[in-house]
Amino acid sequence: MFVLPQLAGGGFVDEVIRNLLLFIVLINPVSKIGVCFSLRNDMNKLELRRLAVRSNLIGLVTLVVFALAGTFIMRSLFQIEIYSLRLAGGAVLFMVGLHALQNGEFFEMKSGMNLQDISCVPIAMPLIAGPATITAAISKTAYYGPAPITVALFLAAGINLLVMVYSVRLGKFLDSWKLLGPLVRITGLFVAAIGADMMLNGLSQWMTAAHILGK
């Protein structure tokens, strides 16, 4: 799994900051700049803000639910192991990052899309609460406990909301300096790397479980 260096001081704040940085990368506010910037001609400022609030609220609720009850949901209801979710989530994240790296965009607005519905799909899910982020919420809660992960998720969603609210201004500034495309591609590279790391981690856990069961 994506590992951040140990921060001085340790304790609850250290756990929150470590996981906050991870969730910021996975939620990826940079990708939302391009998405909201592309909608500036279809929505006014008030509609874009409502879109930002609604999508982040849906995404946050989804992530918190999986963080608190994800293990029960995956194992008891769907009978899926965490390493399988990491493999699948990592693969999805890798493809998203690869698409951004190659095309300079995380999301392509297609004709016929209902602008009122895109706050749920694809912005809330999977651009905010995607498979990789859900996987991280479940696995990190199992390791750190629910309190620091819940706080980290609220902070990450708040940062993402702030970026989305000011995305048109940020997009215009970055686009005027021809920086939006390169920034998205650089972010896509890191997202793809995190996805690859998740897949390798899931594969390692599967091999360990298979080895134990084979004994």
Alpha-carbon gap, residue 154 to 20, rounded angstroms: 9
Q: What is the helix, strand, coil percentage profile of the chain, to 5?
A: 80, 0, 20
Q: Would residue 109 count as lying in a domain?
A: yes
Cβ-based neighbour number of residue 126 at 10 Å: 19
Average confidence score pLDDT of the chain: 85
pLDDT band, very low/low/confident/very high, at 107 (cuts 50, 70, 90)? low
pLDDT reading at 112 higher than 80? no
* 17 belongs to a structural domain: no
Name, of 62-71, 176-185, 195-204, the range with top average pLDDT.
Answer: 62-71
Judged against a pLDDT cut of 60, whether residue 2 lies above it is answered with: no
Counting the structural domains of the chain, the total is 1
Does 25 map to a domain? Answer: no
Domain membership of residue 15 (yes or no) is no
Residue 53 lies in a domain: yes
| Residue 91 forms part of a structural domain | yes
Distance between CA 166 and CA 151 in Å, rounded?
A: 23
HSE-CB for 187 with a 13 A CA cutoff = 23
19 within some domain = no
Range of the domain at 169: 31-214
Q: pTM of the predicted model, to two decimals?
A: 0.78
pLDDT number for residue 20: 96
26 within a domain of the structure (yes/no): no
User: Nearest to residue 198, comparing CAs of 88, 67, 124, 102?
Assistant: 88
Q: What is the DSSP letter of 43?
A: S
- How does DSSP assign 25-67, residue by residue? HHH-HHHHHHHHHHTTTTS-HHHHHHHHHHHHHHHHHHHHHHH
